Amino acid sequence: MNITTDASVFIARLDRARSEMKRTGVDALILSLGHDMPYLMGYLAMPLERLTMLVVPRDGEASLIIPRLEGPRVQELPGVFTMIPWNETEDPVAIAHALLGAAQTIAVGDQMWSRFLVDLLALRPSSKYVRSVTVMEALRSRKDAAEIAALVAAGAAADRVAAQLHAGDIPMVGRTEAQVSKDISARLIAEGHQKVNFAIVAAGENAASPHHHAGDRVIKHGEIVLCDFGGTMNGYCSDITRCVHLGEPPKEISDAYDVLFEAQAAAVLAGKVGVTCESVDAAARRVIDAAGYGEYFVHRTGHGIGMEEHEDPYMVSGNTTLLAAGHAYSVEPGIYIPNKWGMRLEDIVVATENGPMPVNHANHHLVILDK
């Protein structure tokens, strides 16, 4: 499912891709699996062994090479691309080779199976190959109004699940992490997502592992529980982390949470157009370092988000990319004390000319349940 089937949106995006191709000296763009292709023409290919490929010449019409049996799943958009269905006995790479004509520099999608690229290399040994990110990064990382609206809607749906978590609607004590994870997943769907991408539930010492996989661990009174969940709604992703404490938290945990809260708020506020991505990371790290938890904040502060859960730009030390209006990203500092406990607080934020616009508004405090 996609936010738009409006041909004019795709025509405009293909035009922008062609100007990026001109700017970067790319003669043709070839895309297959992954999200660059649906961004440009609406169709997300299934990860099959048969080749689906969009060929975009810089100065010609786009073509979709597609297994004939997959054809009925494609929404045809005249003026956007031409369908070229191939039969089981045909060689789709030879069709791509013919369409590429005299193209010298070819930008290739990251997720095209290597078997097809290897065959293409053999057919066109003198072409030069670059990654599609050369062309696509400038387009996909800056979200347009419809994309921002989709991110806001997905974020609001995730917020509603967070509110249910905070209200105690999701029983915790005596259940396994996996059961709670299943419950959160069902609620993401009930609130409008078509797909759940993850629902991390990590109790007590498990919360010290940032990407813990919810398992058979039974949740007990007296523990912190970290919940990080998100899904895809109308083609765009949500991603939120909230922690609850079952019973009054010990001072060690409430003090650390105050630091986390302040660090996350500082990094959200730092997200002004024109600052570097690494300065957003630094804003959170400064607070956590000053409080003495620096060595326990073991990951970057955030990742871009859009059609994919993790995409450019990344809020990480060393990334000097300047924040621009339309950049959408997570702000998710964490503090993880090995074998004891962990905590993370995460919102999605969109950079705008009027300052950072958080997509999530669910209560940011450590909510106490099972009092």
Minimum distance between the CB of residue 245 and Zn ion, rounded to whole angstroms?
19
Q: With CB under 5 A as the contact rule, which of the stretches 74-82, 124-132, 141-149, 236-244 interacts with Zn ion?
A: 236-244
Q: Which of 147, 239, 312, 347 binds Zn ion (CB under 5 A)?
A: 239
Please say whether the beta carbons of 330 and 303 come within 8 A: yes
Task: Give the whole-angstrom CA distance, residue 355 versus residue 348.
Answer: 14
Pull the structure tokens for residue 335.
Answer: 């503090």
Q: Nearer Cβ to Zn ion, position 239 or 278? A: 239
Place of tokens 């958009």: 77
Tell me: cis bond preceding 358? Omega within 30 of 0 counts: no
Task: Give the whole-angstrom CA distance, residue 53 versus residue 8.
Answer: 21
Minimum distance between the CB of residue 303 and Zn ion, rounded to whole angstroms?
6
CB-neighbour burial class of residue 320 (10 A; exposed 0-12, middle 13-18, buried 19+): exposed
| 264 near Zn ion, rule: CB under 5 A | no
| 119 near Zn ion, rule: CB under 5 A | no
Give the angle 294-297-298 at the CA atoms, nearest 5°: 120
Q: Nearer Cβ to Zn ion, position 57 or 235? A: 235
Q: Nearer Cβ to Zn ion, position 21 or 331? A: 331
Type of residue at 48:
L
Task: Give the whole-angstrom CA distance, residue 140 versus residue 327.
Answer: 9
Q: Nearer Cβ to Zn ion, position 228 or 278? A: 228
Minimum distance between the CB of residue 333 and Zn ion, rounded to whole angstroms?
11
Q: Nearer Cβ to Zn ion, position 67 or 334? A: 334
Task: Give the whole-angstrom CA distance, residue 296 versus residue 292.
Answer: 9
Minimum distance between the CB of residue 348 and Zn ion, rounded to whole angstroms?
8
Minimum distance between the CB of residue 81 and Zn ion, rounded to whole angstroms?
33
Q: What secondary structure letter does DSSP report for 353?
A: T
Q: Which of residues 139-158 bind Zn ion (CB under 5 A)?
A: none
Would you tell me how many other CB atoms lie within 10 Å of the CB of residue 172?
23
Would you tell me how many other CB atoms lie within 10 Å of the CB of residue 23?
11
Minimum distance between the CB of residue 335 and Zn ion, rounded to whole angstroms?
15
Pull the structure tokens for residue 40.
Answer: 């440009």
Q: What secondary structure letter does DSSP report for 65?
A: E
- Structural element, H or E, at residue 164: helix 145-166
Minimum distance between the CB of residue 299 and Zn ion, rounded to whole angstroms?
7
Q: Which of 191, 228, 311, 347 binds Zn ion (CB under 5 A)?
A: 228
Q: Nearer Cβ to Zn ion, position 119 or 159? A: 159
Please say whether the beta carbons of 134 and 26 come within 8 A: yes
DSSP per-residue letters across 244-269: EEESSPPHHHHHHHHHHHHHHHHHHH
What x-and-dash track marks residues 175-214 binding Zn ion by CB under 5 A? ----------------------------------------
Whether the CA torsion 337, 226, 276, 306 is positive or negative: it is positive
Minimum distance between the CB of residue 255 and Zn ion, rounded to whole angstroms?
24
Minimum distance between the CB of residue 210 and Zn ion, rounded to whole angstroms?
6
| 347 near Zn ion, rule: CB under 5 A | no
How many residues contact Zn ion, by CB under 5 A?
A: 5
Q: Nearer Cβ to Zn ion, position 68 or 310? A: 310
Q: Nearer Cβ to Zn ion, position 281 or 346? A: 346
Q: Nearer Cβ to Zn ion, position 223 or 239? A: 239
Give the angle 8-14-20 at the CA atoms, nearest 5°: 140
Q: Nearer Cβ to Zn ion, position 185 or 330? A: 330
Minimum distance between the CB of residue 184 and Zn ion, rounded to whole angstroms?
12
Q: Which of residues 323-342 bind Zn ion (CB under 5 A)?
A: 330
Q: With CB under 5 A as the contact rule, which of the stretches 25-33, 36-44, 220-228, 333-341 interacts with Zn ion?
A: 220-228
Query: Would you tell me which residues interact with Zn ion (CB under 5 A)?
Result: 228, 239, 241, 330, 346
